[in-house]
Amino acid sequence: MEVSYHGHSVVKIETAGKTILIDPFMNGNENCDLNADDVKADVILLTHGHNDHVGDTETIAKRNHALVVAPNELAVYLAFKGLNTHPMHIGGSYQFDFGRVKYTPAFHGSSFVEEESQNIVYTGMPAGILFTAEGKTVYHAGDTGLFSDLKMIGELNEIDLAFLPIGDNFTMGPEDAALAAEWLKAKRVVPIHYNTFPVIEQDPRTFVDQLKPGIGKVMKPGDIIRL
């Protein structure tokens, strides 16, 4: 399995001949090295409905005929737009042909802003994602504050790689994210959701330096970890 990071919260997973994108916010994301107009994807996994996570899902999914897996209300909203969706919810898991997906809690909001009509569409509960394939588990926390059930997630799952937000203001900051990493007991941890906007500017080293040696890794857009 190859896992790559592409700025903000965008993660790509290559496994079993499939390309999986998580939260593909590309257009308008200066930190992303991928182009929504030509990126390939078989599957898109979404954590919640905010525009900087749904991002270019509609464009990418329609061009690639990709399956979109999302929390129920968000999946229904995207199905109304003609996308092929698989709705799920927190605590539920499903074994797809490309791997097992399980949704976990996240403490945040979830809505899609339709700017032209100045309308906010409620898109259900925000979530994190546990993705398991080839005997390895990747945890993408989505957007969340610190909460004690992260301990339980770490106790119930052997996490090989975790992606945690550190931007503060909207999510955990570096200090809280470091505690989350300790609770999760992940073998490797990568900071995400920082430096995309001025309000979430952070030095990722501040986060990594708080972790045990060898655990934290700052990934640049396009960097790959092989599990």
Low-confidence spans in the chain with pLDDT less than 70: none
Q: What is the CATH number of domain 2-217?
A: 3.60.15.10
- Quick one: which of 107, 76, 77 has its CA closest to 90? 107
Rounded Cα distance, 41 and 20, in Å = 6
- Quick one: which of 153, 104, 152, 100 has its CA closest to 127? 104
- Quick one: which of 18, 15, 111, 36 has its CA closest to 71? 111
pLDDT computed for residue 47 by the predictor: 98
pLDDT computed for residue 59 by the predictor: 97
pLDDT computed for residue 105 by the predictor: 98
pLDDT computed for residue 51 by the predictor: 97
What is the pTM (predicted TM-score) of this model? 0.97
C-alpha distances (whole Å) from 100 to each of 51, 55, 200 are 25, 23, 32
* pLDDT tens for each residue of 111-141: 999 989 999 999 999 999 999 999 999 999 9
* Average pLDDT taken over every residue of the chain: 97
